Structures are given as structure tokens and as C-alpha cells.
Amino acid sequence: MRRGGRDAEAGRGVTSKLIHFRNRTLWAAAAAAVVAGAGLWFWQSRRHLSVAELADHLPPTEAVVLHIDVAALRRAGVLDLIAGSRAAEESDYKSFVTQSGFNYREDLDTVVASFHSGQTSLLLGGRFDWKALEAYAARQGGGCENGFCRMPASTPNRHISFFALRPNVMALASGPDAWGAAAMRSPTRTRPAVRVTSKPVWLFVPGAAFKSAGGLPPGTRLFAKALEDAENALVWVGLDGVRLQVQIEATCKTEEGAVILRAQMEKVTDVLRKLILRSGVEANQRDLSGVLTQGTFQRKGRVMIGRWPLERAFLESLAGGS
């Protein structure tokens, strides 16, 4: 009996050790999972989102989408030409820079934005002093709660809201919706697809947007009218050899539609040239007349491609150098 008791006691000891070992293993596995999860979260929060991933966070509406690779323009030395001269910057912006510590010329790297029904939604990649930005919102009559900030805009009945989507990404909205930025918290897989390109500046335009192009500058409305039946268009600015050019790739419903669109674009360009000649002046390289009259067009399948050269004189005029 004593031997049986000793065997039973030994068995209980082994069982206790096994349970203890199992518990330690479970705790170690749980700790490892927590550490791995925290590491994954930290890596995800610091990882730079691609342009396509940023676009997925835009509100789920069929809207015009703009991308600007500010860092690339800065490196190329053309940021000032496109953004405007320092002397022309508004006093409100200078005040914002002074009080918030944010200067797009130095701190901003990427912009992905959409425009729909008076609401502007932006995802801004760069370097931000979040405490200074929250303090700025409070000084402007707004406030922040759990990192989400709201403040009145300078225009009546409009609001600005923003929050840190990532430490290096700000989600910001401006428009009639005081909580507009909240729509960008998570990717929206149901939003219409956006065509992207590696060019430093591009604009994706859904076909419906061409039907409401009344606010476009004079001279461009005839081109927008011709594009009304296109499914969508991708407009980008990039280098053609040593100079900049604007290119549009308009996707039509059929190849025949692309043929017709090319003919329409060539006709509009010819009409514009003749109107300028009748006015007794020459096309000016410093304004849109000098850009739009230089357009050339071709077709590839269902896509109509148009190209316009951008001379430095035109960029300088945009910067207020005229």
C-alpha cells in the first residue's frame, strides 16, 4: 500500500508539473501573441500608405480625385512655380503656419483629395505637430476630443475637421459637414475604382463630372463638353523630355466613341485657334490660350489620348510672376 501511495503521490506530482508547464506555455504564447500584435500595429501605423491605399479612405462617392506628389515637386525645384510665390501667400495661411507649426512647403509630402457636392476630403502625408494643431483648432473656436478636431472655416456655414489617420497622415475635410473627416477612418471598398499613375500630379475625373463643368476656366468648357460621354478620364502632368506636359487619357464606352471623341477634340482645338486669330492677337504662352491651342490627339482602342505642352512661362504666370 505504501508503494501504491507513493506511486499515486508521484503521479500527482507529475500531473501538477504538467499543468504548471502547460499554464506557463499558455501564458508565454499569449504574451508572444500580444507582443506580435503590438509589433504589427506599430509597423502598420508607421508604414507609408500607397497612393491607392490612401484613395481607398476617401468617402464612397463618385468624385473627382486629385493626387500631388509634393516631395517629388520639391526635389524637382518646381514646387514654388506650381504652388505660387511666397509673397502671394494669404495672411490667413501665414498665421496658420506661425500658430500651428505646419508649412506645406517643408512638411507636406503627399496629397490625395476628392471633391464632391461642396465637400473637400484630403489625406495629407508628411510631418505634423499634432499638439500644436489641436491647440490651433481650439484658438479658432473649435476643439478636439479623442484626437478628432473640429473648427469653423473662414467661409460661413463651412467647417474643418481633421484627425491623425497615421502619425504621418492627416485626414482633413472642409465643407458643410462638421464631421466630414470621420468618413475617412477606414478604407471604403465599395467606393468607385480610381485609376492611378506614378506621375507626380494627376487628376481622375468620372464621366459624370464633365456634365457639371460650368465652373471651369473659359476655353476649357468646350473640351469638357466633348468629354461628357467618356466613362472617365485620367489627367496627369509629367515630363516630356526636358519640359512639362499635360496628358489626358479618356476611356470611352466603345472604340467608335473614342474615334468620335478624338475628332471632336481636334475640332474644338481648331475652333479655338481661329477664334484667337480673329481677335487679332496671338496665342500667349503665359495663359491657357498658349496651352490649349497646342493640343495633339490620338486613339488607342477605347482610349482617346490628348497632350498639351506646359511652358515655363505658363507656370511662372501661375506663380504670379507676370
Q: What is the pLDDT of residue 26?
A: 47
Residue 100: what pLDDT? 79
> Which residues of the chain, if any, have pLDDT below 50?
14, 17-19, 21-22, 25-46, 87-88, 322
CATH assignment, 49-191:
3.40.1000
pLDDT of residue 214: 61
pLDDT of residue 298: 96
Instruction: Please give the pLDDT value at position 247.
Output: 94
Domain boundaries, the chain: 1-47, 49-191, 195-322
> What pLDDT, on the 0 to 100 scale, is given for residue 93?
56
Rounded Cα–Cα distance for residues 308 and 299 (Å): 15
Q: What is the pLDDT at residue 170?
A: 94
